[in-house]
Chain A
Amino acid sequence: MAVTAPPRPNDSPAPPSRGLGTGPRPPGILTDHIFRWVALASGLLVLAILALIAYTTIDNAWPWFRHEGLGIFADNWDPAKGEFGAGAMIYGTFLVGVIALVISVPVSIGIALFVNEIAHENLRKPIIYVVDLLAAIPSVVYGLWALAVLTKPLADIYQSISDATSGIPIIGDLTANPSKSGLGYMTAGIIVAIMITPIITSLTREVFATTPPSLKEAAYGMGATRWEMIRGSVFPHSRGGLVSAVMIGLGRAIGETIAVALLIGSSQHISENIFGPGDTLAAIIANQFGEAVGIQRAALIGMGVVLLVLTVGVGILARGIVSRYDRRSGAVA
């Protein structure tokens, strides 16, 4: 990951000396040139694909932008009436992302600290492998499993939390009317949290690992307990990297599609009710694209564009935080 790219040993690779053999052109020079250009072309492919993604999706979504104008951000998705505002989906995307982060970030920081500071050296690799297996499980299998196993017990839990908090000003509103099926923002958020934990864990681990041993030893030398050392040395050193790890996690969370499509409950209205059903940009594309025609199809492709802008924006922001932090501390290469 970008957070700690390893130092590049060959910043100025020694070019093969050309001047020594002054005879006829040595063989292989053509191969060298051809290979160089082929390699460059493969690298530029990334640029070409990204440009094509932007062009073809915006081109196909254009009827939607023209039809709705700024109405694309309105909370009025109703294909039957010809209304295609994506407000509810944008809201749902962020709500699911925030729920996922609130659950996942503390757990990920905990695992990262456990691996880096507490676990025995021989246990580190197995623990990392196990956490990475969470990332290997396909999104659709998470969705299938959560549908079969989690939704019923979660519906009961939501109901009892809702009963317990009814009447409390703000919290009571957030938990009113939980969905009977157990489908909704919270269920989707919980599953997305599991799915983004491996990436946030591995990024945080890299950030924590950059804490100079001297800082840690200084803390221990002053008589700090392990926790005080973590709070006093590891956390202050890692703040910038942590923020960017969280941003990258948010980027993954808002792009998460299939599990959310199965668990979100598909209700296209903004609702402050975190236990109720909703919809997200990615989920509505997966669920409705098959049957959509005309403006609705353009609108769904347009929501893909919005999703692309959001994820790329969050990614660039995360990178900006890292590089600003790098310049200041000079700690991460």
Chain B
Amino acid sequence: MTAVASHLTPLPKSRARKVKNFVATAVIGLAFVVALVPLVFLVVYVVQQGSKVISWEFLTEDLPFVDRLPGGGMNPAVVGTLLITGAASLMAIPLGVLGGIYLNEYGGRSPLARFIRFLSEVMTGVPSIVMGLFIYTLVVLNTKEKTGFAGALALACLMLPIVIRTTDQMLALVPSELREGSFALGSRKVRTIRTVVLPSAAAGIVSGALLAVARAAGETAPLLFTIGIVREANTDLFAGQNTALSVQIFTNATSPFSVQQDRAWGAALTLIVIVFVTTIAARLVTAFFARRQTA
């Protein structure tokens, strides 16, 4: 810690030091403002542009026969986003929670558990477009069909490592005295996990899972080559092509036609509402459980 000492030798110009401290504090505070500016501008702009377009018809009508025609709505994309994200969550969350339970309750510090932990960290970093290519090569090329389910698989691959890692970390926070108490009362491992460990960590796991859902709902890249396009809502994930809000925004964003741009803004507002509601729900879950535990 010689570095500390050299910085802290008393300096004669205490006024200069105060000014320096003030400037540094101001710059640090400014950093937060810099991050705040794009957030506020983006949200305000999307709400402004989107609210001009959004109506009941926008949410419930099919896409127009040709993209550049006026009229029509985003219903197929809304349905697609909800169904595909929902199916992905149904696959990724149970498997992810199970994987997290293995890591913390069975694996602990064993080499295998550490290896899996390392791999899920690596998998979190795999870009979403690579997940799209992966499902394209594995599923779409083999079934020769683009479906909502293929898109859901790609999203599930993105969510899985996030859920595993959150569960692992949240379970690690559960005091081992709780487990020991349960064992002492004669409960087996499964019963202990089900009735003692999981309920104690529920808030963190639910909130982590919701954040993973929010991230998946906004993803475009994994869906681009896996779900195709459809103009009427397709509620069958396993047959026929599908579409999603994010994909619609991407295809309409670069269009020179104003009806298409309007549709992109409407879809963007819808998508942001879905994502923000999920994110805020995650925070509320945490806050609610935290208050109940302290009470």
Residues of A within 8 A of B (CB): 2, 5-14, 16-17, 26, 28-29, 31-32, 35-36, 38-40, 42-47, 49-50, 52-53, 56-57, 59-60, 106-111, 113-114, 117-118, 127, 129-134, 136-145, 147-149, 194, 197, 201, 215, 218-219, 222-228, 230-233, 236, 248, 251-252, 254-258, 261-262, 282, 285-286, 289-290, 300-301, 304, 307-308, 311-312, 314-316, 319
Q: In the complex, how many angstroms separate the beta carbon of B91 from the nearest chain A beta carbon? A: 10
B35 touching A251, Cβ below 8 Å:
no
Which residues of the partner chain A approach B7 to less than 8 Å between Cβ atoms? 224, 228, 231-232
Partner of B126, one of A32, A53, A261: A53
Q: Give complex CA distance A230, B4 in Å.
A: 10
Asked if residues B138 and A56 are in contact (CB atoms below 8 Å), the reply is yes
Distance in Å: Cβ of B174 to nearest Cβ of chain A: 8
Asked if B133 and A285 sit within 8 Å, CB to CB, the answer is yes
Bound CA–CA A319/B117 (angstroms): 12
Q: Check if B119 sits within 8 Å of A50, measured CB to CB.
A: yes
Give bound CA distance, A101 to B173, whole Å: 33
B contacts, CB < 8 Å to A: 1, 3-4, 7-8, 10, 17-18, 20-21, 24-25, 27-32, 34-36, 38-39, 41-43, 45-46, 49, 95-96, 98-99, 101-109, 113, 115-116, 118-123, 125-131, 133-134, 137-138, 141, 157, 160-161, 164, 169, 172-176, 179-180, 183, 187-191, 193, 214-215, 217-221, 224-225, 246, 249-250, 253-254, 261, 264-265, 268, 271-272, 275-276, 279, 283
Chain A nearest CB from B187 CB (Å) reads 8
* Most chain A CB inside 10 Å of its own CB: which residue of B46, B221, B283: B221
* A-B contact number at CB 8 A: 317
Across-interface contacts of A236 in B (CB, < 8 A): 1, 3-4
Interface contact A110-B95, CB-CB below 8 Å: no
Contact flag A319-B121 (CB < 8 Å), given A232-B4, A285-B133 = yes
Asked if A307 meets B130 with Cβ closer than 8 Å, knowing A9-B172, A32-B190, A50-B122, the reply is yes
Tell me whether A215 and B179 are in contact in the complex, defined as CB-CB below 8 angstroms, given that A53-B126, A138-B246 are known contacts.
no
List the B residue with the shortest CB-CB distance to A201. Answer: B35
Q: Is the interface of A mostly helix, strand, loop or mixed?
A: helix
Residues of A within 8 A of B134 (CB): 52-53, 56-57
What residues of chain B lie closer than 8 Å to A142, measured between beta carbons? 42
Other 5 A-B pairs with CB < 8 A, given A114-B32, A138-B275: A8-B109, A42-B98, A257-B129, A289-B225, A300-B133
With contact pairs A5-B172, A52-B138, A315-B125 given, residues A233 and B119 touching in the complex (Cβ less than 8 Å): no
Contact sample, A vs B, 18 pairs, CB 8 Å cutoff: A39-B102, A45-B95, A46-B161, A47-B115, A106-B31, A107-B35, A132-B279, A137-B39, A141-B268, A144-B264, A149-B41, A252-B125, A256-B127, A286-B221, A300-B133, A301-B133, A301-B137, A312-B125
* Interface residue SS majority, chain B: helix
How far is it, in angstroms, between the C-alpha of A36 and the C-alpha of B32 when the chains are bound?
46
Given A6-B169, A57-B134, the answer on whether A289 and B246 have CB atoms closer than 8 Å is no
Nearest CB of chain A from residue B272's CB, rounded to whole Å: 6
Contacts of A233 in B (CB 8 A): 4
**Cα distance A133–B279 when bound, in Å?**
8
Q: Is A13 touching B176 in the complex (CB atoms < 8 A)?
A: yes
Quote the shortest CB–CB distance from B288 to chain A (angstroms): 14
A226 x B272 contact (CB < 8 A): no
Whether A140 contacts B246 in the complex (CB less than 8 A), given A35-B190, A57-B130, comes out as yes
